[in-house]
Amino acid sequence: MLHDAHNHLQDEALASHLDRVASAWPDLAGVGGEMVVNGTHPDDWPRVAALAVAHAFVRPAYGLHPWDVGASRPSDWLVQLASRLDAEPRASVGEIGLDRWILDSAAPDDPRLGGVRPASMHEQAEVFGAQFALAAARNRPVTVHCLQAFGELLPLLRAQPAPARGFLLHAYGGSAEMAGELVRLGAYFSFNPAFLDRRKAARQETFRAIPEDRLLCETDAPAMPPPPVWRTHKLPPGPDGFAPNHPGNIEAAYAGLAALRGVTEAALTGRIAENFIRFFGPPR
């Protein structure tokens, strides 16, 4: 049974492929295999909610993504988030986080950022803190994105109570040394098969060292496609020439992580299923 701890099935890039993905999922993930579908802005939360109604394998997550902090949003967005959590007991908070890459390193013409207006780190931290506090107060799972911003994230995590069940750092890109403190603060870490790229040796080293009971696997589909040799599922490119990542590539995450850690896929799959249920809660 495979679980995708982090994707964006509601994304427009997957809209024309939804039937294909939904019919493939039960066969590849097994009975009970689930995916956590992360909203990024109040505009896409209704699509996430509809997917959770339509498909038993979808667990909904609602959040304001750091890339969307600079976009306009309804003034009562945080109240809307709280009422979604109250109405949907299986819902988690995500994707939220901090991103210094969009401020300092992203090329202005990066196609992934079409139309994004980067928000200051101060504003990102405020929006992150409010959502993290909401998750902590309700002890809901919360999924955190952190790109080149651990210097800002760590002090916030030290200062602010986390949900008793912990929190997830998706596609963890920090060091193995820092992972030790993050484990003590309650972190889980999801492995993305894009890290199987030969140039990502440092990430691979980190994921060899993460404690077994804090590991999860993810795709971040339609983003972060695995290296071509690891891709088990392909989708045709859209009009922009970009081929969206298929959530079925979760197979590559399990196979790649098992190989990295020198364990059998069966053993890893069992451990991750336990971690997934402990963190995200019991199956429907």
Which is closer to Zn ion, CB of 95 or CB of 99?
Answer: 95
Strand partners, 144: 96, 169
Span 88-107, contacts to Zn ion by CB under 5 A: 95
Encode 236-267: b = buried (16+ Cβ within 10 Å), e = exposed: eebeeeeebbbbbbbbbbbbbbbebbeeeeee
Count of Cβ atoms closer than 10 Å to residue 178 Cβ: 15
In the complex with Zn ion, the residue whose CB is nearer, 171 or 261, is: 171
Cβ-based nearer residue to Zn ion, 203 or 261: 203
Q: How far is the CB of 85 from Zn ion (least distance, A)?
A: 19
- CA dist 63 and 143 (Å) reads 9
Q: Which is nearer to Zn ion, 58 or 261 (by Cβ)?
A: 58
Classify 41 as helix, strand or coil.
Answer: coil
Query: How buried is residue 199: exposed, middle or buried, by Cβ count under 10 Å (0-12/13-18/19+)?
Result: exposed
- Element housing 170 (H / E): strand 167-170
CB 118 to Zn ion: min, Å:
17
User: Between residues 76 and 110, which has the closer beta carbon with respect to Zn ion?
Assistant: 110
Six token digits for residue 51: 């997917």
Peptide bond into 42 cis (omega under 30): no
Q: Is residue 161 classed as helix, strand or coil in its secondary structure? A: coil
Task: Provide the β-strand partners of residue 190.
Answer: 170, 216
Tokens 């081929």, residue?
Answer: 243
**CB of residue 95 vs Zn ion: minimum separation in angstroms?**
5
For residue 31, the minimal CB distance to Zn ion (Å) is 26
Q: Which stretch binds Zn ion (CB under 5 A): 87-95, 191-199, 232-240, 241-249?
A: 87-95
Which range, of 20-28, 107-115, 116-124, 213-221, touches Zn ion by CB under 5 A?
A: 213-221
The only residue of 220, 246, 256, 268 in contact with Zn ion, by rule CB under 5 A: 220
CB of 13 to Zn ion, least distance (A): 12
- Tell the smallest beta-carbon distance from residue 270 to Zn ion (Å): 26
CB of 46 to Zn ion, least distance (A): 18
Comparison of 220 and 251: residue with beta carbon closer to Zn ion: 220
Beta bridge mates, 96: 144
In the complex with Zn ion, the residue whose CB is nearer, 85 or 168, is 168
Binding status of residue 251 toward Zn ion by CB under 5 A: no
Q: Report helix, strand or coil for 124.
A: helix
Selected range binding Zn ion among 129-137, 148-156, 186-194, 212-220, rule: CB under 5 A = 212-220
Residues lying near Zn ion in the complex (CB under 5 A) are found at 95, 220
